Structure 1
Amino acid sequence: MITIVLTNRNRSLSLITNCFASLRRQNNQNFKCTVVDYGSNPQNQKLLQSEINKHVNFELILCSTQKQLWCKSRAINLALKQCDTTHFFAGDIDMIYHPHFIEELHILKDKHKVVYFQVGFLSENESNTDKDFEDYQIAFPSNEEATGMTLYKTEILKSINGYDEFYHGWGAEDTDVHVRLKNANVEVAYFDRDILMLHQWHPKVYRGKDSLEPFHFKLESINHKYLEFTRQTKKVVANTNFEWGHYSASDYSVLEAPQQEFLVTNELADVKGFIHSVLLDHADQVISVKIREHSEYNSLKQTAKKLLNKKAKEFLSLEEVNDLLLETIIADKRNAAYSYRYSVQKNEIALVIKL
């Protein structure tokens, strides 16, 4: 049997129902589908649960990670960790799958340890139509660089600790797995004989100026540099310093009652002192911190001292503080339950975390 894993955060219900309908129409039903919802808003999670309940071979993993960075790697690994089938397909919830897709997976799994698939992209207008798979007009196909849709022999993917959970935000985690498998001399095949899945158009989601969601302003470029070093170092096994595929629902329930509260400014010494003395040093404690601009930030006094080469306070912008905090969480506290808000309008960062 094959496990299909689909990850989600606030995708529209119409995209999801189209995807599920295509799986329901498979001529080979020898599969089960695990959907991992990694932090959709509660209303969307309820709607998704209702949709999942209509399918006998579907299961849902819900994560209360609404106020955390998106981590597709961790979401996939949650399903991989509990996977008990011989093969594991990492797909996307915005795809429409060919009626013979599962049948083709069963044929290919006996030929390849790892194989990934070409995808056909639909235009906005075409995505809004309801047709038989073969009748859709494809705007353009993906090429070999698009590595997201992959079938694995489960034991091989588990042997390299699954997807690398360093990757947060969007980009590079799929390619990283392929790179590490090739570093382990595992052949990664590419299937482009037919297009077996269609990507439904949807608008890109951008962080608005009023948004409070966590966002790292340079994370995508860091992800790609991280991938380059994975290639250079011939890395095979990921997540060696953390338990991979870990999520504790009970840890999130205690975030409402922090045991200690801190107020930190954007002075460099203040931020780094907090990170090293509290964030990286405390354990078994729920703490909250609010970070606001120092009263002397951009003041005439501090500006004059700099111009006169006198000792002045060093400050970070709130954006720099934001990036530093999130990098610290990714590098050292990625399995911790946390809630993170960054208000550009209020010039305030608020973090609650279970250390």
Structure 2
Amino acid sequence: MKAFSSSLVISTYNRPDMLRICFQGVLAQSVQPDEIIIADDGSGPATKQLVEEFTAKSPVPVLHVWQPDEGFQLAAIRNKSFAKASGDYIIQTDGDIILHKHFVKDHIRMAEKNTFISGARSLLDDGYSKAMIQKMEYSQPSFFSTHLGKRFNAFRNILLMYFNYFIQRGSKQYRYVLGANMAFWKSDLVKVNGYNEEFKGWGKEDNDLAARLCNAGIKLRFIKFGAVTFHLYHTEATRGNLTTNENLLQQTVDNKITFVSTGISSHY
């Protein structure tokens, strides 16, 4: 493994049932990050209790970063978590995600200077997700499961992962990044000041961050056949702010913006 420290940032909001399954997947990792940060966008006491239970079991330090519930402010809570992170390299996911046991290992393997990474996810159907939540028991879904959507995102192969990664010359396809499976150098996040906290409500904050990193000369690469994740089914968040957020993203693209004022720096 490479000689740098890593932080795993897991965002959540009032879904302790799913977060419990996510935590079990984190404990099963073949390689642990150096710390785990829970980026909590205003969850209640049940999540706090769950994080305390997880902290007692975790082999690495766990930090619970919480902000009051003032609506969907994912950009802000991620920035607060980035500011607290001690790792050189930040791996990012969500609390409704089941991580393949080599998720962290794969991200650390593929880390490269002047580069940030986006992975993919497979989709678990409603029935399978509910059954796992009711059992409160983690199990890594099979590639052959009939309950799996976007199946080939669940296929892990080391040789294909390396081949696919290194044939890329650096992408600017910021519209295809997935916030639940990304990794960055903290120094690069600081360079662009992290997420733009003008993004409120669901949508496009990840694309905006990716676009600004690309504008700043940081290469985007996509990891396939590795860093596998499985998304637990739930109803979608409301998208009332989507048009506003799309307009903010377009401003970033049109004006080649790199740095935003409403970012990580406000949390130091």
Counterpart contact for 2:51–2:64, Cα < 8 Å: no
Distance 1:14 1:222, change over 3 A: same
Equivalent residue in structure 1 for 2:124, among 97, 122, 125:
122
Structure 1, unmatched stretches of 5+, are 207-216, 248-355
Provide Cα deviations, 1:169-228, integer angstroms capped at 9, x if missing partner: 11111011110011112110011234611111123356xxxxxxxxxx842210111111
Structure 2: tracts of 5 or more residues without a match: 133-137, 154-172
Give the Cα separation in 1 of the matches to 2:61 and 2:264.
26
CA distance in 2, matches of 1:123, 1:6: 22
How has the CA–CA distance of structure 1 residues 245 and 61 changed in structure 2, closer, same or farther, with 3 Å as cutoff? farther
* Contact 1:75 1:245 (8 Å CA) reproduced: no
- The CA deviation at 1:30 is 4.0
* 2:19 counterpart SS class: helix
Q: How far off is 1:84 after superposition?
A: 2.0
> Sequence identity, in percent?
21
Deviation at 1:56, TM superposition (A): 3.7
Find the counterpart in structure 2 of residue 342 from structure 1.
none
Are residue 8 (structure 1) and residue 12 (structure 2) matched? yes
TM-score of the pair, normalised by structure 2: 0.78
1:171 aligns with 2:173: no
Preserved CA contact (<8 Å) 1:19 1:95: yes
Partner amino acid for 2:261? N
Kindly indicate whether the alpha-carbon contact (under 8 Å) linking 1:2 and 1:87 is maintained by their aligned counterparts in 2: yes
Equivalent in 204, 210, 225 of residue 193 of structure 1: 225
Q: Which moved more, 1:129-138 or 1:74-83?
A: 129-138
C-alpha displacement of 1:154: 1.2
Matched positions, count: 234
Change (3 A) 1:245 1:40: farther
Aligned to 1:147: 178
Q: 1:43 to 1:28 in 2, by over 3 A?
A: closer
- Aligned position for 2:267: 246
Pairing of 1:95-106 with structure 2 (within 5 A): 95-106=97-108
Paired residue secondary structure (2:117): strand
Distance in 2 between residues matched to 1:2 and 1:120, nearest whole Å:
24
Q: Relative contact order (alpha carbons < 8 A, sep ≥ 6): 1 or 2 greater? A: 2
Which residue matches 1:38?
41
Provide the rounded CA distance (Å) in 2 between the counterparts of 1:232 and 1:95. Answer: 33
Report the CA distance shift for 1:46/1:121 in structure 2 as closer, same or farther (over 3 A).
Answer: same
Equivalent in the alignment of 1:52: 55
TM-score of the superposition, structure 1-length normalised? 0.60
Specify the SS of the correspondent of 2:176: coil
Q: Which has the higher helix share?
A: 2
Q: 2:91 aligns with which of 80, 89, 92?
A: 89
* Aligned residue number for residue 25 of structure 1: 28
Q: Distance in 2 between matches of 1:132 and 1:147?
A: 20
Pick closer, same or farther for the CA change 1:46–1:150 going to 2, 3 Å.
Answer: same
Residues 82, 44 of structure 1: alpha-carbon distance in 2 compared, 3 angstrom cutoff: closer
Q: Which amino acid aligns with 1:109?
A: A
Q: Which residue in 2 is equivalent to 1:221?
A: 243
The answer to whether the Cα contact below 8 Å between 1:115 and 1:188 also exists between their aligned partners in 2 is yes
Structure whose CA Rg is larger: 1
Aligned to 2:222, the other structure's residue is in SS state: strand
Instruction: Give the secondary-structure state (helix, strand or coil) at the position aligned to 1:151.
Output: strand
Is residue 26–residue 102 contact of structure 1 (8 Å, CA) maintained in 2?
yes
Shift of 1:74: 1.0
Instruction: Name the Cα RMSD after superposition.
Output: 2.5
- Asked if the contact 1:120–1:195 (Cα under 8 Å) also holds between the matched residues in 2, the reply is no
Flag the 1:51–1:245 CA change in 2: closer, same or farther, 3 A: farther
Query: Corresponding residue for 1:263?
Result: none
Q: Secondary structure at the match of 1:134?
A: coil
Cα deviation digits, residues 58-95 of structure 1 (max 9, x gap)? 423343512x1221111111111122221011211111
Is the Cα–Cα contact under 8 Å of residues 112 and 189 in structure 1 kept in the other structure? no
Q: 2-side partners of 1:112 and 1:46: how far apart? A: 38
Q: Work out whether residues 121 and 140 of structure 1, in 8 Å CA contact, stay in contact via their aligned partners in 2.
A: yes
Residues 100-131 of structure 1: per-residue CA shift (max 9 Å, x gap): 11111121014762111011111112223453
| Change in 2 beyond 3 A, CA 1:112/1:156 | closer
